[in-house]
Amino acid sequence: MTISAASVVGHTTASSPRPHILYTVEVKTTDGKTSTISKRYSEFVALHDTLNDPGSLPPKRVLATIFVPSAWLDDALITERKAGLSAYLTGLLELPQFRAHKSLVEFLTPSKPSPNSSRDFSPEDAIPSTLSRKAALEVQKGISAEATPIAAAYYPDWASDSNPPGSLDFSKFDILLFAFATPNSSSGISWDSGATSTLKTLVSAAHNSGHATKIVLSIGGWGGSYYFSQAMSTSANRTTFVNACVSAVNTYNLDGIDIDWACCSPSLAEYPNESGAGNPFSSSDAANLLSFFKSLRTALGSSKIISAAVTQLPWTGSNGNPLTDVSAYASVMTYANIMNYDVWGASSTPGPNAPLGNLCGNSSLPQYSAQAALAQWTAAGFPASKLVLGLPLYGYVSQSTKTTLEDIARPPVGFDVKAYKEQVLGLPDRGLACPLPRVKEDAQGEEEGGEPNALHGKHERSKGKKKDVSAEASGDLSSYFGQQIPFNQIVALGALQKTSSGTYVQANGYTEGWDNCSDTPFLYNTSRKTVVTYDDTYSLGDKALFAKQNGMAGCFTWSLDQDDGYTLQNVIRSNLGL
C-alpha cells in the first residue's frame, strides 16, 4: 500500500551506547492502517543526503544554543526537532518524485530500517545535557558552516539614485531582496518604470562581485498587493502567476522569489485573509498561498530561494485566527522574513517601533515583538533555522511632549531587567563602555494619548525622497511629524551625531532615552514637542545577537538605503558572527 502520511508524534530516550533521543514516527497508508517507527535525528540526515531532496531538516544544534546542561534546553531542542522533522516528512510525501522513492519507503517501513542508518553513536542524537562539552566541541567544526546565519536587506527600486547597484559593497549582504514587482489583473507581474533596468544592473553587479550575493525578487508591498488574492484564487490563476515568477527568475537570472502580500488592516498586517489597504481578500487565501508555494517550489526546483514577508503571528486561516500548523509551508519555503517593526507608529503617546521583547511583562501588545514572533512561529511548526528576523533602519517622529515610551516603558518595582536579558534571552547587559542613557521624568504637562498605532510591519511603496537638509542640521524634524524617518535622516538633520567610536549620541537639544522593557532607544525634545523612536547600533546589535543565539536563519533590514553608510549593517553582521 502507498504511504499517505507520516509525522513525528512523540519521542523516547535510549541509554545505549549513550543517552540519546528516538523520535516516534506515525505512518499511515492508503488502506487505513497505522504503524509507528522510531528514528534518530542522524537517520533523517542520512535519508536527506540519499534523496538530495529540496526539503530541509531542523538544524544541527550541538552548540547552536550555547551548550549548557539544562532541562529547558533539552525541551526546546526536542520540540523544535519534532516540528521540523514532521514538516520535512510531510513535504516529502507531497512531492510525487519522492513519495514512492525506495529509500523513503524503506525508511518509513517498520520491518525495513533505512539502509543508510548506522547504529554508530552520533553526538547530534544525544540528549544535550548528557553530552560533554568536549564532545560538543569536537562536533562544532563539522556544523559551523551550516549554522552560519545570513545578513539580508531589501533593496527598493527607488534606491537606485542614492545607492546605485554599481557602488554597493556586496560583501555586506548575503541576500538582497529587490522591491518591488506587483501582481496584476491578469495574474502576471507588473514593474515600475525603470525597475527592470535597475534589476538587471543589480544582478550583474552582485553576481560579478565575487561575494556570492544572491538577488531575490520581492513581489507585492503595502501598495502593490491588490491582485494577490485573485492570483491565488484558482488553479489556473496560480499556474499563470507561477509561470510569471519563473519567467522573471529565468529572464533576470535571479536567485529566488519573495512574496510580500500586504493585504491587511493596520492592526493585523501583511496577511492573506485580512481586509485593509483596499485589497480584496478571501477566507481561502492562506490555503491558496500554500498551494502556490508548492507549485512554485516544483517549478523552480530545490536550489532557488522561496520566502515571504510575514508578521509576528502566522498567516490567518479560514477561521480568522492565526494558523496553528504551518509546517507544510516550511517544507517548501526557504525562509519566512519576520517584519518585527511598525508595532507602534507616530502618536502623541509614542511606543517602540520594533520591540525586542515584552521584557517587563506589561506590554499592551505582547504578541508583537521579536521574542514573541520566534515563539509563535516555531510553536506552529516553522523551524527557527528558517526564520529571518527583520530589523528596521528607520524610526517614527511623533509630535509629543512625552519623555518615556508608553505601555511598556517602566519595569515593575523589583524587576531585574539585566537578569532577564542574560538568563532568558541570552543577551548581555551593556557594559561600562556602552552605558544606558538615563531617562528623565517629565515634569511638564503631557498631551492626552490615544490608542497605540499598531501597524505590525508594512513595506510601503514610496519613492522615499529625503527631506531637504538645512546647512545647520539644526535638529528640526517637524517635517516628519506623523511619518517614518530613515535613520540617516535623523543623523543628517542633526538630532543624532555620530561619534568616533561608531555609535550615535543626542544633539541639538535632544535627550536620548532608553526603554528597558522593549530594548529601544528614543529621542525627545519637549521644547520642540518632538519624540523620535528608532533603532541604533545598540538595539540592532541586541536583536541580531538574539537571532543568532536562538538558532534563527539570520536578519534582514528594511531597507538598505536608510542606513548611515554601512554603520548599522556592520553592527548587525558583527553580532550575527559574520
3-state secondary structure 445-460: CCCCCCCCCCCCCCCC
Residue percentage of the chain with pLDDT more than 70: 75
Mean pLDDT to the nearest integer, 100-113 = 82
Work out the number of other CB atoms within 10 angstroms of the CB of residue 470.
12
Residue 443's pLDDT is what? 33
Residue percentage of the chain with pLDDT more than 90: 55
Residue 82's pLDDT is what? 87
Residue 308's pLDDT is what? 96
Mean pLDDT to the nearest integer, 558-573 = 96
Residue 363's pLDDT is what? 85
Q: Structure pTM?
A: 0.71
Mean pLDDT to the nearest integer, 423-450 = 39
Q: Is the pLDDT of residue 310 over 80?
A: yes
Work out the number of other CB atoms within 10 angstroms of the CB of residue 69.
13
Supply φ then ψ for residue 289, to 5 degrees. Answer: -65, -40
Contacts 24+ apart (CB under 8 A), 250-254: 252/196, 252/199, 252/200, 252/203, 252/217, 253/203, 253/207, 254/203, 254/215, 254/216, 254/217, 254/304
Mean pLDDT to the nearest integer, 264-272 = 42
Task: Report the C-alpha gap between 502 and 487 in whole angstroms.
Answer: 14
When the pLDDT of each residue in the chain is averaged and rounded to a whole number, the result is 81
Task: Report the C-alpha gap between 353 and 210 in whole angstroms.
Answer: 36
- Residue 569 near residue 560 (C-beta atoms within 8 A): yes
Residue 80's pLDDT is what? 76
Angle at the Cα of 441 (from 362 to 531), degrees rounded to 5?
A: 80
Q: Is the pLDDT of residue 13 over 60?
A: yes
Task: Report the C-alpha gap between 271 and 316 in whole angstroms.
Answer: 6
3-state secondary structure of 33: coil
Residue 276's pLDDT is what? 53
Give the pLDDT band (50/70/90) at residue 469: very low
Residue 144's pLDDT is what? 41
Mean pLDDT to the nearest integer, 94-112 = 84
E strands of 403-549, at which residues?
A: 483-486, 496-498, 504-506, 511-515, 520-525, 530-533
- CA-based radius of gyration for the chain: 24
- Tell me which of 282-296, 314-328, 342-356, 410-424 is least confident: 410-424
Give the pLDDT band (50/70/90) at residue 432: very low
Supply φ then ψ for residue 511, to 5 degrees. Answer: -115, 130
Residue 265's pLDDT is what? 33
Between the alpha carbon of residue 127 and those of residues 62, 67, 93, 121, the distances in Å are 10, 11, 28, 12
Region of 551 please: left (phi>0), alpha (psi -120 to 50) or beta.
Answer: left
Ordered domains of the chain (ranges, CATH): 3-145 (3.30.1520.10)
Give the pLDDT band (50/70/90) at residue 516: confident
Residue 418's pLDDT is what? 66
Residue 422's pLDDT is what? 62
Mean pLDDT to the nearest integer, 422-433 = 48
- In the block, cell 536620548 appears at 512
- Which is higher by pLDDT, 99 or 56? 99
Residue 224's pLDDT is what? 79
Task: Report the C-alpha gap between 570 and 513 in whole angstroms.
Answer: 23
Which residues lie across from 530 on neighbouring strands? 399, 525
* Upstream peptide bond of 486 is cis (omega within 30 degrees of 0): no
Q: Is the pLDDT of residue 529 over 60?
A: yes
Task: Report the C-alpha gap between 534 and 176 in whole angstroms.
Answer: 23
Q: Is the pLDDT of residue 121 over 90?
A: no
Mean pLDDT to the nearest integer, 178-204 = 96
Task: Report the C-alpha gap between 517 and 232 in whole angstroms.
Answer: 40
Task: Report the C-alpha gap between 531 and 306 in whole angstroms.
Answer: 38
Q: What is the pLDDT of residues 275-299, one digit of tens each?
A: 555 676 777 899 999 999 999 999 9
- Residue 150 near residue 174 (C-beta atoms within 8 A): yes
